[in-house]
């Protein structure tokens, strides 16, 4: 049997990806994947549609990417195989989604105050589900204020610390690791050393998360330089953490393709063994 091809980080239109969950499932199969995880930002809303549309031979790992912080640094926690109905976790994710709306509204208000022709209705219409900065970025492109989504994510606009950027509520990362574990799930720290995204967490923070039950580090990721991968592999070996790889696919919102980076099948099997809040879904 050829090695299974496994991509553990993708986004659908349930958050800020451009593919519907059903389309994403079809694209995953077309990309030659055997397994993909749906990890929309702060929501599980895409799970059912993705599961219903699974082509034969493709396995779906239900997941989410949770917005967290540690010591003033934003970080993203991939959570897999948790019980979506677990009340404390579902409440926390609901709060994150609510705060996303307030934050996007604040960014639009700042833009409007400077006379820029974007509106909340326009941004809201671009988001099929959970709103995110890519929707604001798309509105900036549509209004002709910037030429590209990348430019919108620059310092003049809504990039981290940019003129129209505002922060938002995020879960304390250590608490989030425990919350997901209590819901039967497993956690992997996403793109920990992606320097293009602003400040990154240090070793001490990763140690703290590992002590709280973090299962792994996402190492093979399009935003990681080779040097970041080397460092993260060393950290993972030292702290006995699993190492994963994934594309962080967003459809047309970002240039990256599905299956650009993959996870070792043995690591995937171990994650599945540890996740008890729900099961992987196969057609
Ligand atoms: P938010 O979580 O709402 O702050 O939005 C952050 C999301 O924007 C992340 O999922 C990133 O994948 C995405 N993002 C960040 N930079 C860019 C970029 N230059 N182009 C497209 N998407 C981006
Ligand atoms: Zn995203
Ligand atoms: Fe992320
Ligand atoms: Fe992501």
**What's the predicted TM-score (pTM) here?**
0.97
State in Å: Cα 68 to ligand 4 middle. 13
Structure confidence at residue 40 (pLDDT): 98
Q: Which of the listed residues 153, 158, 196 should we mutate to test ligand 1's pocket, taking the one with most ligand atoms within 8 A of CB?
A: 153
Q: What rounded mean pLDDT belongs to the chain?
A: 97
Q: If you take atom 2 of ligand 1, which residue's CA is the nearest one?
A: 132
Place of tokens 């819901």: 183
Intervals of the chain under pLDDT 70: 1
Distance CA 258, CA 248 (A): 8
State in Å: Cα 150 to ligand 1 middle. 9
Q: Decide: 17 in ligand 1 pocket, CB within 6 A.
A: no
pLDDT digits (tens, 9 = 90+) for 15-37: 999 999 999 999 999 999 999 99
Q: Regarding beta strands 73-80 and 35-38, do their DSSP bridges make them parallel or antiparallel, or are they unpaired?
A: unpaired
Q: If you take atom 19 of ligand 1, which residue's CA is the nearest one?
A: 150
Q: Decide: 249 in ligand 1 pocket, CB within 6 A.
A: no
Distance CA 80, CA 154 (A): 31
- Are 224 and 193 in contact by the 8 Å Cβ rule? The answer is yes
- Are 160 and 170 in contact by the 8 Å Cβ rule? The answer is no
Q: Regarding beta strands 242-245 and 59-70, do their DSSP bridges make them parallel or antiparallel, or are they unpaired?
A: unpaired
Q: If you take atom 3 of ligand 1, which residue's CA is the nearest one?
A: 132
Ligand nearest to the CA of 77: 3
Ligand nearest to the CA of 191: 3
Q: Which of the listed residues 14, 16, 99, 148 should we mutate to test ligand 1's pocket, taking the one with most ligand atoms within 8 A of CB?
A: 16
Q: Regarding beta strands 73-80 and 59-70, do their DSSP bridges make them parallel or antiparallel, or are they unpaired?
A: antiparallel
The neighbourhood of ligand 3, an ion, using CB within 5 A, equals: 76, 190
Burial readout 194-226 (b: 16 or more C-beta within 10 A, e: otherwise): beeeeebbeeebbebbbeeebbbbbbbbbbbee
Q: Which atom of ligand 1 is nearest to the CA of 132?
A: 3
Distance CA 263, CA 215 (A): 14
State in Å: Cα 11 to ligand 2 middle. 6
Tell me the three-class secondary structure of 129-173, residue by residue.
CCCCHHHHHHHHHHCCCCCCHHHHCCCCCCCCCCCCCCCCCCEEH
Q: Regarding beta strands 59-70 and 171-172, do their DSSP bridges make them parallel or antiparallel, or are they unpaired?
A: parallel
Q: Decide: 194 in ligand 1 pocket, CB within 6 A.
A: no
Structure confidence at residue 195 (pLDDT): 84
Q: If you take atom 14 of ligand 1, which residue's CA is the nearest one?
A: 134
């Amino acid at each position: 049997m050829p090695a299974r091809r496994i991509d553990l980080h993708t986004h659908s239109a349930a958050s800020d990806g451009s593919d519907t969950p059903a389309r994403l499932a079809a694209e995953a199969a077309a990309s030659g994947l055997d397994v993909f995880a749906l990890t929309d930002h702060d929501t599980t809303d895409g799970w059912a549609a993705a599961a219903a549309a699974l082509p034969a031979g493709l396995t779906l790992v239900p997941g989410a990417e949770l917005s967290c912080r540690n010591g003033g640094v934003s970080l993203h926690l991939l959570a897999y195989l948790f019980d979506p109905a677990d009340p404390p976790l579902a409440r926390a994710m609901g709060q994150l989604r609510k705060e996303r709306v307030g934050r996007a509204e604040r960014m639009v208000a700042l833009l409007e105050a400077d006379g820029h022709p974007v509106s909340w209705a326009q941004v809201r219409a671009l988001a099929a589900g959970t709103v995110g900065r890519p929707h604001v970025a798309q509105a900036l492109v549509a209004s002709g204020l910037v030429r590209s989504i990348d430019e919108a994510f620059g310092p003049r606009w809504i990039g981290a610390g940019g003129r129209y950027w505002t922060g938002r509520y995020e879960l304390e990362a250590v608490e989030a690791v425990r919350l997901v574990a209590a819901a039967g799930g497993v956690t992997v720290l996403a793109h920990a050393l992606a320097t293009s995204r602003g400040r990154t967490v240090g070793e001490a923070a990763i140690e703290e998360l590992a002590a709280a039950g973090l299962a792994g580090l996402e190492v093979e990721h399009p935003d990681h330089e080779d040097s970041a991968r080397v460092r993260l592999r060393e950290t993972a070996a030292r702290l006995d953490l699993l190492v994963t790889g994934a594309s962080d696919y967003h459809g047309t919102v970002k240039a990256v393709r599905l299956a650009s980076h993959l996870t070792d099948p043995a690591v995937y099997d171990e994650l599945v063994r540890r996740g008890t809040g729900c099961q992987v879904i196969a057609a």
